[in-house]
Structure 1
Amino acid sequence: MTRPPPLAGVRVLDTSEGIGAPFCAKLLGDLGADVVKVERPGTGDETREMGPFPDDAADGPTRHEASASFFFLNTSKRSVVLAAETTRWREQLAALVQRFDVVVAGETAESLDARGIGYDALRRWNPEVVLTTISGFGSFGPHSAYESSHLVSCAVGGWTHLCGLPDAEPLQVGGALSETLAGAFAAAATQLAVLGRMRHGRGDHVDVSVQQAVLAGAQIPTMLYEYRGIVPERYSSVGAGAGACCMLPTADGTIGINALTGRQWRMLCDFFGRRDIADDERYRGVSWVNADERVDEIRAAFREALGDRTAEALFHQAQAWRVPFGLVPDMAGMFALPPHRHRGFIVPLDHPVAGTVEVPGIPFRATGTEPRPYRPPLLGEHTEQVLSSLAEAPPSQSGETPDGDSPLPLDGVRVLDLSMFFAGPVCAQIAADAGAEVIKVESVQRIDGWRGSAASHAGTDLPGWESSPYFNWVNRNKRGITLNLKDARGVSIIKRMVRDADILIENYTPRVMANFGLDYDTLREINPRLVMISLSGFGADSPWRDYVAFGMSTEQMAGFTHLTGYPDGEPLFTGTTGGDLFAGVMGANALFAALNHRDRTGEGQHIDFGQVEACSLYVGDAMTGWSLAGVDPGRVGNGHHHYPLQGVYPCRDNRWIAITCKTADHCAALAELIGDAAVAEGAAGCRDAIAAWTAPRDHVALMADLQAAGIPAGAVMNGPDLLADTHLAARGGLLVQDRPGLGPRRYPAQPYRFRRAAPPPNERAPLLGEHSSEILREYAGLTDDDIAELVIDDVVGTVPIAAR
């Protein structure tokens, strides 16, 4: 019997175009929501003309039905065409809104208000509607009217500052990752608003900023400057971790070498037969923050050690040593990855014009539900079906809901967070910020690896495990407990806590939870309503199930690095541990969909989640370009396949400005500012003229001047710029938390805001084992004597054993 998808019964009206907002609606549709896309007559969504196209449709009358960009971004939707901006259009739109739960719009609230279809208007039609708006800078703040692009978002969010080589211009991250990341955040926030409506009977307006999504993804500039006063340089050839992190050519491609912990560093040196490097004092503490000639020495030594081995052989050999090497596939190679095929992540969709097209599908398997994408619609394919059904489906009968704050969407939800490092904790952080009670579980035998991030310590008298900015950021709004899960008493306590839990999050390799005796089948016997998500690198039923994956190996395997780099240059890191956060946000989408299903049916479930699959979904448009049209977009530097002019140009004091001219009007406006008519043609040869004009100017002031002329532009911001950004401050984009021994520190907030929900909590991350006693009393029923015995036996504690 076919299992239902988790969002069955949720109805979404997608009024957006482009990439970010359609990606949000696509994710909701792939998870089972009924999504209806509203398109313009004649041309439809702008991505119908973006391609790439198969050769036999490139110039034909059905070209707009065979665009790979549209194909991927609009799976699992129906299409209706409404006559634009007429009285009849407004009547039809109102009738649709009355019958739908969610409206997704790719513009600001101000823009919608000007068209008479803002949130207040939608509430008059449907008082419980959820409106999600996605725009470059969000719907409020001094820059809310600014024009944006993927390049501009990368610049103003801190990503471009990190990406590229130190002797060349900084780079945008490849693909459209800023927009798809914002879309994934928007989908998670939309699901939260829907859960809040189910629980509290009120809709909401969710406002998403692409700049803030990038700030979350590229958190390193703000974190390092806030904690250590460091402004990191561009070392995309090295990555965001130890000096051993690099990508090197092999006999058959590129191999990603990633050693992010001290243990992995030693194992890596042993793997290459170079223990002398591990033992050499000169190479201690080499990292991207202080990269120097030692990094080049290490890379040269490892390049020699590769010999004539292939990337495939090196990958499997290193994984046998538990060192997280990563393959660096192109788009064709991503379709050939064994886990993708084995787990059914690659899905063939039959389309009446494009034929059978393979696309990346759902990055998880679940025990209780079965989401699956279906083909994208033809333009207006469902207009008659949808409009004729309006008479059959009665509109919402709910009355006007009062103003004032609603409870947070996950108020009353209890989460056990057994995850470490980044992907799982990000998933738990999103739940915590939405009001869930999250209990972070560590042990004195094995603390969260982010606590030991030596390059991050603040230089205070605090022990290192309490002063890592990354741990402190991603674990806010959680309470902390330590439990040794290799001790039967620790396992017994977790089982008692599971009785009253709604969610359990873990990101071990698949064998670990079973070894603890905490596999899902065991926990389901204790609590059938439990939703458990396991975020492993490759999935529990993958042929690579026991392989290790970290953020940088994930971005290699998921195509991020293949798409990032200078034209005709080598693949480069994005400059952050981006793969982790991307996986965590997608994990939150899977988790909230399962919670929606649980709230409606009472049925818990286990989500077997693959992080590499999840990250591959963010570049699904590029993957679909290969499968549908045989086109791999490759690396375009700071260029764009469709815009007449785009680039990053030098400014005063070795700073940079990102400029996008999407149209001829943008080019003409830039030409007028510069006083060079050649720029109006958007010719590649005008780069020198633009650079000569930008070079003496301040990058932040120039951004304002260009935006005033209607040109999408963004200063390439570093940590100090972001912390001083008045727009981020106006949006509450940086949270201030006071940690004992550190004082106040600023951290990136979530990139979305709820208009009607109560303000999110803002509690600092827990000290190691800080809340163990109160949690053990409250949820496990232990006495003070019981707890004292556990402390003596190191089942519970506050100081890591390794630090004693």
Structure 2
Amino acid sequence: MSLEIDDTRAWGPPYAKPTLGKHTTGPGESAYYLAVNRNKKSVGLSFAHPAGVDILHRLVRECDVLVENYLPGSLAKYAMDYETVSNINPSLIYASITGYGQTGPYRDRAGYDVMVEAELGLMHITGERNGPPVKVGVAVTDLTTGLYTSNAIIAALLGRIKSGKGQHIDASLSDCQVATLANIASSALISGEKDSGRWGTSHPSIVPYKAFKTSDGDILLGGGNDRLYGILCTKVGKQEWIIDERFKTNAQRVKNRDVLEQLIENETRKKTTHEWLEILEGCGMPYAAINDIQTTLKHEHVLARKMVQEVDHPTCGPMKLVNTPIKYSVSTPGIRTPPPTLGQHTDEILKDTIGMSEEDIDNLRSEGVVA
């Protein structure tokens, strides 16, 4: 069992029951909440109250994993820091997710995805070639940090099988952002150069490999080698470009990038995106329409892969959510339960997991300890 400690301000209306804390989030935050909290159960609990801390400690005894995202040291005053709870349950895997980690000069700074994108390189390399830096369209650093942390938790659980001991995982947005600079970071470390800047949809060393305008949208074309470049030329009806001395090799195409890309776009603008998709079907060259989100969620391949699932929410009624992306040969993961309202499962968890009576729960609720 896993225990996740969240501030009630993360539970935005209209999907929450605002019984504890002040709710300041809006529809965007509520949608974010819905996106990441399916298959979870919610206990509304005030751990500013000693009885609330006692409940958390009793839950810790039953848990394999605890995940928290408070500033370093913040939970010590509630006796929910790693040192305290690891004494209660030495096999516990305790994962702390923060903006800048448990150590370092920025450890006490609040961390938000967009700030980390800006400060640690991602925003600088994102955007059009001659345009300003921009943030990624989703909170990608939040997401990658969650993925790194889940991998770390699994590794720690496997380690516990051998050692019998838990451990504290220190995960931060900043570290994960630096890690996901990947080949860009490696190139800069090796070359000593600043970086290659922003490239939009283009590839810095392969031409043609970018998005081109059509008569009604955009299409991404990947002529990644001489053979694929030849297919592109044939499909746009310009076979003469294959033997053009300016474009015969990738090195020459990179040198004459602006000329070739403009020539290609002059052709792609003559047809709709759908027409180009039909022309390119089965050609063997990588290509893709650039779709908006609604088109993506209705895409035939997305639906065939069951990436959209409808569930019945107790407050909102039927709603569609993005499904888990991983398929297994035996297991069948999916959305078992919709995202809970705040405190929806308080009675269930306190009764079934730590054996509290209805009378005890009612008394705690009257005192404002649980909701």
TM-score over 0.5 for the pair: yes
1:486 maps to which of 48, 52, 75: 48
In the other structure, the counterpart of 2:205 is: 642
Among 26, 29, 32, the residue aligned to 1:454: 26
Q: Give CA deviations for 1:72-115 in whole Å, capped at 9, x if unaligned.
A: xxxxxxxxxxxxxxxxxxxxxxxxxxxxxxxxxxxxxxxxxxxx
Q: Which residue identity lines up with residue 264 of structure 2 in the other structure?
A: I
Partner of 1:659: 221
Tell me the distance in 1 between the aligned counterparts of 2:118 and 2:62: 39
Q: Which residue of structure 2 lines up, in the alignment, with residue 152 of structure 1?
A: none
Q: 1:747 to 1:702 in 2, by over 3 A?
A: farther
- Render the CA deviation track for 1:252-277: whole Å, top value 9, x for unaligned: xxxxxxxxxxxxxxxxxxxxxxxxxx
Kindly indicate whether the alpha-carbon contact (under 8 Å) linking 2:277 and 2:289 is maintained by their aligned counterparts in 1. yes
Taking the TM superposition and a 5 Å limit, the aligned residue runs for 1:315-330 are none
Aligned-partner SS, 2:319 = strand
Matched, 1:416 2:14: no
- TM-superposed deviation, 1:443: 8.3
CA distance in 2: counterparts of 1:456 and 1:679, whole angstroms = 48
Tell me the CA shift for residue 508 of structure 1. Answer: 0.9
Q: For 1:782, give the aligned amino acid.
A: M
Q: 3-state SS of the aligned residue for 1:478?
A: coil
Hey, what's the Cα distance between the residues in 1 that align with 2:44 and 2:306? 32
Match of 2:82 in 1: 520
Structure 2: tracts of 5 or more residues without a match: 12-16, 248-252
**Aligned residue identity for 2:198:** R
Match of 1:80 in 2: none
Alpha carbons of 1:735 and 1:555: their partners in 2 closer, same or farther (altered >3 Å)? farther
Residue 469 of structure 1 corresponds to: 31
**Any conservation in 1 of the 2:73–2:81 contact (CA below 8 Å)?**
no
Report the Cα distance in structure 1 between the residues aligned to 2:71 and 2:281, rounded to whole angstroms: 48
Taking the TM superposition and a 5 Å limit, the aligned residue runs for 1:555-704 are 555-631=117-193, 632-653=195-216, 655-677=217-239, 679-680=241-242, 681=247, 682=253, 683-684=256-257, 685-704=259-278
Pairwise CA distance, 1:647: 1.8
Structure 2 residue 296 is the aligned partner of structure 1 residue 722? yes
TM-score (norm 2): 0.88
Give the drift of 1:501: 0.5
Contact conserved, 1:566 with 1:637, CA < 8 A, in 2? yes
Q: Deviations along 1:15-45, whole A, 9 cap, x unmatched?
A: xxxxxxxxxxxxxxxxxxxxxxxxxxxxxxx
Deviation at 1:701, TM superposition (A): 4.9
Deviation at 1:419, TM superposition (A): 3.9
Q: Does 2:95 match 1:533? A: yes
In 2, Cα distance between equivalents of 1:538 and 1:573: 19
CA RMSD of aligned residues (A): 2.3
Measured against aligned partners, the alpha-carbon deviations of 1:399-444 in whole angstroms (never above 9, x if no partner) come to xxxxxxxxxxxxxxx00011469xx99xxxxxxxxxxxxxxxx984
SS for the counterpart of 2:42 is: strand
Following superposition, the deviation at residue 597 of structure 1 comes to 0.2
Write out aligned runs for 1:386-401 (5 A).
none
Distance 1:554 1:478, change over 3 A: same
Q: Which of 536, 546, 569 is residue 108 of structure 2 equivalent to? A: 546
Helix, strand or coil: the match of 2:34?
Answer: helix
Distance 1:678 1:443 in 2: 67
Tell me whether 1:504 sits opposite 2:91 in the alignment.
no
- 2:347 matches 1:780: no
* Residue in structure 1 matched with residue 14 of structure 2 by the alignment: none
Question: Relative to structure 1, is the Cα distance of residues 627 and 676 closer, same or farther in structure 2, using a 3 angstrom cutoff?
Answer: same
Partner Cα distance (2:215, 2:367) in 1: 60
3-state SS of paired residue (2:154) = helix
Q: Is the 8 A contact 1:678 1:686 kept in 2?
A: no
Number of the residue aligned with 1:94: none
1:450-505 CA-partner distances (Å, limit 9, x unpaired) = xx541438xxxxxxxxxx22211200000111100111111110000111100000
Question: Cα 1:455–1:767, aligned 2, differ >3 Å: closer, same or farther?
Answer: closer
Tell me if structure 2 keeps the 8 A contact 1:511–1:546. Answer: no
Q: Secondary structure at the match of 1:786?
A: helix
* C-alpha distance in 1 between matches for 2:85 and 2:309: 36
Q: Is the 8 A contact 1:510 1:540 kept in 2?
A: yes
Once residues 753 and 763 of structure 1 are traced to their aligned partners in structure 2, the CA distance between those partners, rounded to angstroms, is 18
Q: Which runs of 4+ in 1 moved over 4 A?
A: none
1:755 aligns with 2:309: no
Which residues of 2 match residues 296-307 of structure 1 at below 5 A?
A: none
Distance 1:759 1:575, change over 3 A: closer
- TM norm structure 1: 0.42
Supply the AA of the counterpart residue of 2:141: G
Instruction: Report the 3-state secondary structure (helix = DSSP H, G, I; strand = E; otherwise coil) of the residue aligned with 2:291.
Output: coil
Unaligned runs of 5+ in 1: 1-413, 426-441, 458-467, 798-804
